Amino acid sequence: MTNKKRPEPLSSALDAYLGKKGLTKRLDLAGAVERWAEVVGERVAANARAEAVTADGLLWVRVRSSPWAAELSLMAPRILARLNQDRDGKIRDLRCIVGMNE
């Protein structure tokens, strides 16, 4: 009788590889940029665009103006709570860069 291993599903192999390389959390953090408009809503998304997330969980957001930067700093606790809901990676803070290109 031969002892053949069954092939592992690609999704399982990929998850194991990403976990081994420490990339699972990083990919989860990067998903915050993709979910930005859904989390903040249409009005905010029109005036503030998530651009990047650092490995330590800092979300960089480009805003239209200084008042929008101030508004986002007030909204930050709610935004972070929604971004972190049911996620492996945790966004710990957000920082604004003033000046959006149309």
Residues ≥6 apart with Cβ < 8 Å to 92: 56, 57, 58, 80
Domain residue ranges of the chain, discontinuous segments joined by +: 10-98
Report pLDDT digits (tens) over 47-76: 999 999 888 889 999 999 999 999 999 999
Distance CA 82, CA 93 (A): 12
C-alpha distance across the termini of the chain, in Å: 67
Report pLDDT digits (tens) over 9-50: 877 777 677 677 666 666 667 778 889 999 999 999 999 999
Q: Which CATH number fits domain 10-98: 2.60.40, 3.40.50, 1.25.10, 3.30.300?
A: 3.30.300
Q: In the predicted model, is pLDDT for residue 89 greater than 90?
A: no
- Which pTM does this prediction carry? 0.74
What is the SS3 assignment for 84? helix
What is the SS3 assignment for 50? strand
